[in-house]
Amino acid sequence: MQAILKDYASAVQNLRLIKRPGSNRWGQQPKKWSEAALGEDSAGQILFIFCRSPLSMHDLNLELLVSGIELVAAQHLEGGPLAQLYLHVGEVELEMSGGYGAYSGQDCGNAAPWPIPNVLGVRRRPLMANP
């Protein structure tokens, strides 16, 4: 690991939810929470996944794998009240935040998003003329 880290200014570690090519990596557990995750489908497209409902990660993974979106891999980004998704494309603006914590499984009454700990941003790549 140290040999890899020397080539980078920073690094992050993540929890895998679904291992390629579509294997649920979580055993069943009693803890349930809201979830924000990053996935990839069979065509290589990135998927931003958000679930406010409290589910165990095992059950969420099962739901995603049978949903028809051809999910092949997914990583946990954040859970509980910190799980958030914000989308602003053209005239569409959507903001969702988690409301269920892992330990209580109860609605935290989270009516507004918490301060953002991390951000993944996406913008369209300029089209190349005659690649």
**4 or 40: which leads in pLDDT:** 40
Task: Write out pLDDT tens, residues 65-106.
Answer: 999 999 999 999 998 888 889 888 899 999 898 887 765 556
Residue 5 lies in a domain: no
pLDDT of residue 122: 76
Is 131 inside a domain boundary?
no
Q: Is 91 exposed, middle or buried (0-12, 13-18, 19+ CB in 10 A)?
A: exposed
The total domain count for the chain is 1
Residue 127 counted as domain residue: no
Residue 81 lies in a domain: yes
Report pLDDT for 50: 96
Which range of residues forms the domain containing residue 37?
A: 12-97
What is the average per-residue pLDDT within 3-13? 84
Residue 28 lies in a domain: yes
- pLDDT value at position 99? 82
Which tens digit of pLDDT belongs to each residue from 10-46? 877 789 999 999 999 999 999 999 999 999 999 999 9
In a domain, 32, yes or no: yes
Residue 79 resides in a domain: yes
Provide the whole-model pTM.
0.77
Beta bridge partner(s), residue 88? 93
Beta strands in the chain (DSSP E): 15-19, 23-24, 33-41, 46-55, 71-79, 84-89, 92-97
The two structure tokens encoding residue 97: 């935040």
Residue 106 lies in a domain: no
Query: Has residue 117 got a pLDDT over 70?
Result: no
